Structure 1
Amino acid sequence: MPASCIRWAASVGPPPSAWAARENGGTAARAGKRLFTMGLLDEREIESFERDGYLILSGFFDAIEVGELRDATAEILRDAKRGSRGIGFDPWTTEPGDALNPNRVYYYNDIFLEHPRLDAHMRNPRLATVFCELYDNDIDAFQSATVVKPAMMNFDFQGWHQDAPDYIPLSNYKLSSALTYLCEMGPDTGGTSLVPGSHRDGLFERGYVEMPDWPVKKRIIVGFEPYEPRIVTPEFQPGDVLIFHPCVMHRANSNYTDESKIGLINAYRSVDCIDIQQRSTFKADNIPITRNRAVV
């Protein structure tokens, strides 16, 4: 676990606000096609991702950026309407939520189309650099979404899973997600649990189990039991980023607090990772993010 957790602020200093740069006329990367020469990841970090299937970049985004992203996400959550395509709502209740998430949304896809700040986040030069270095290649966007844990919501129905079954067949597995935490999140507070190294064991059968008095089925990994002793559940702080492989076993934790917990998902794929059957319906999919290691 410690090898997969990088204290980012300590290693590279406080990150600049890309949004502030855009407000002043556009980011340097988008205006000047700046090549990435920072070398944000070292060999140890890349090897850690390859070994464990995930990497935690602690303090990757500063408090100003977190506040901007939280405000932008709260704005679109307040306007969400039940029945809208690409938006999921708490299946346990139709009662109103808290001020941050009054409609009790738990996922919202294609958010880059809903607010310019969230579009800027998808194109963040430092985040793009990390993926270019992980894949040693240019990247395209794949998904832009928010994953929200409404106040006092049981997330057990989401269950242990791998993301890759939703994407395959792919030409390779150079497609991963970055989850940016905008709140403190951990066990029973909306965090994420993972099984280190499970991505190296291939894809497992996904199942759905009827549960007594539940409004939805519980998603499971068939044959998961031997992996239970290896589970880790990190404590995340606002501004932390979790990057995880599509085959790593993971689950979203319940949120037993009085405040909704917000995370942002940005998935990217290497330009040589091809969706063979064109299954994706995400509107972010195939949007070029870098060419020649520069944000476009």
Structure 2
Amino acid sequence: MKLTPEQRAQFERDGYLFFPGHFSPEETKTLTDAVPDLYSKREAFNVREKGSDAVRTNFAAHLISEPFARLARHPCMVGPVMDLFEEEVYMHQFKINGKMAFEGQVWQWHQDYGTWLNDDLMPTERAMNVAIFLDDVNEHNGPLMFIPGSHRKGVVDAKHDLTTTSYPLWTVDNDLIAQLVDRAGGKEGGIVSPKGPAGSMILFHSCLVHASGSNLSPFNRVAVYLSLCAVSNHIRRHKRPEYIAHRDFTPIEMLPDDCLLKPYPVDLPWKNGLPESALQTSLEVLDTAEA
């Protein structure tokens, strides 16, 4: 999948691209059907909501589940990022965020690169997210909120929030959010929320400031996020366990376009459980000559 010149210009201006209904219902169902088994596992890779058994985030499904392993190599997910970076990419992070009905809590205002820089020592913002909705997303079930153009501010100050939710996040303070929203248009477009059917896809910049509210509706809002990083920009520290921030910097080899409909063979190194190495951490800085 190649981006048009108009799409590239829009991405540079707004920091995101939205493709409503990009994947077919059949393709999306292949993924949705695999989620319950992943969420049922009592493993470290399932982070649950505070005071609840509902899964907030599932990590590394592409190393465990065949459908998600194929999604991780889908040209519609990987190709546009390679196109923008003009470089091969590796999987920095793979997560299935489960903002479950009545229980899905907020994701505070943040930049993803803030976490990747502060925790993982990723050198620059040459990484980004590609997301696919596994459920219909509407105004009621906690849609993403973007501040258009906020990526052009670059890396902003952030604080490490360890208490608001069950997942620690480097968050942006309210005063700066107000400034960024005002600069983006205030009440007239200063915050946007891409909404659409299951199978919709979003590509967004790692410095785009975003958040989402709690899900008080009876409708689940599950979405998959591939965090793809230019190979030359790989992380320099393993402060976080490998199931969260991956350490295999091998370029992704894409599968054909129909990879969600046909059983192309894929490697599943963690299908029998997390290896001990996936839980280990280190504060040492990598020798980039060897990495």
The DSSP-based 3-state class of the residue aligned with 1:60 is coil
2:12 maps to what in 1? 50
Partner SS for 1:151: coil
Shift of 1:270: 1.8
Q: 2:124 aligns with which of 165, 168, 172?
A: 172
User: CA shift at 1:201, angstroms?
Assistant: 0.6
Does residue 160 of structure 2 align to residue 198 of structure 1?
no
- The alpha-carbon distance between structure 1 residues 203 and 289, as it changes in their structure 2 partners (threshold 3 A), is same
Q: Which residue of 1 aligns with 2:87?
A: 137
Aligned equivalents of 1:128, 1:67: Cα separation in 2: 20
What's the counterpart of residue 106 of structure 1?
56
Task: Summarize the Cα distance change of 1:122–1:210 in structure 2 as closer, same or farther, 3 Å threshold.
Answer: closer
In the other structure, the counterpart of 2:133 is 181
Distance across 1 between alignment mates of 2:162 and 2:68: 35
How far off is 1:279 after superposition? 4.8
Instruction: Name 1:288's counterpart in structure 2.
Output: 251
5+ long unaligned stretches in structure 2: 260-265, 267-291
The correspondence of residues 1-296 of structure 1 with structure 2, limited to 5 A, is 40-77=2-39, 79-81=40-42, 84-91=43-50, 93-94=51-52, 103-153=53-103, 155-156=105-106, 158-168=107-117, 169-207=121-159, 208=161, 220-222=171-173, 223-228=176-181, 229=186, 230-279=190-239, 281=242, 282-283=245-246, 285-290=248-253
Conserved? CA contact 1:152–1:256, under 8 Å: yes
In 2: Cα distance, 1:131 partner to 1:288 partner: 12
Query: How far apart are 1:196 and its partner, in Å?
Result: 0.7
Conservation of the 8 A alpha-carbon contact between 1:172 and 1:274: no
Percent identity, aligned pairs only, is 20
Of residues 249-258 and 177-186 in structure 1, the stretch that sits farther from structure 2 once superposed is 249-258
Structure 1 pair 267–284 and aligned structure 2 pair: CA distance change class (3 A): farther
Matched residue SS, 2:224: strand
CA contact (8 A) 1:63 1:239 kept: yes
Aligned partners of 2:49 and 2:104 also within 8 Å: no
AA in 2 matched with 1:192: L
TM-score (structure 1 length as normaliser): 0.73
C-alpha separation between the residues in 1 aligned to 2:59 and 2:151?
A: 25
Q: Deviations over 1:78-105 (max 9, x none)?
A: x232xx32321121x43xxxxxxxx410
TM-score, normalization by structure 2 = 0.74
Displacement of 1:143? 1.2
Task: Please report how far the alpha carbon of residue 274 of structure 1 lies from its aligned counterpart in structure 2 after TM superposition.
Answer: 2.9
Number of matched pairs: 241
Question: 1:218-256: per-residue Cα shift (whole Å, max 9, x none)?
Answer: 974122222232111121221111111111100123222
Q: Structure 1's 209 and 127: CA in aligned 2 closer, same or farther, altered over 3 A?
A: closer
CA distance in 1, matches of 2:64, 2:152: 36
Deviation at residue 216 of structure 1 after TM alignment: 8.8
SS in 1 for 2:125: coil
Residue 68 of structure 2: SS of its match in structure 1?
helix
CA distance 1:279–1:220, change in 2 (3 Å): closer
Counterpart-to-counterpart distance in 1, 2:178 and 2:123: 30
Residues 90 and 150, structure 1, Cα contact 8 Å, conserved in 2: no
SS across alignment from 1:258: coil
Q: Which runs of 5+ in 1 are unaligned?
A: 1-38, 95-102
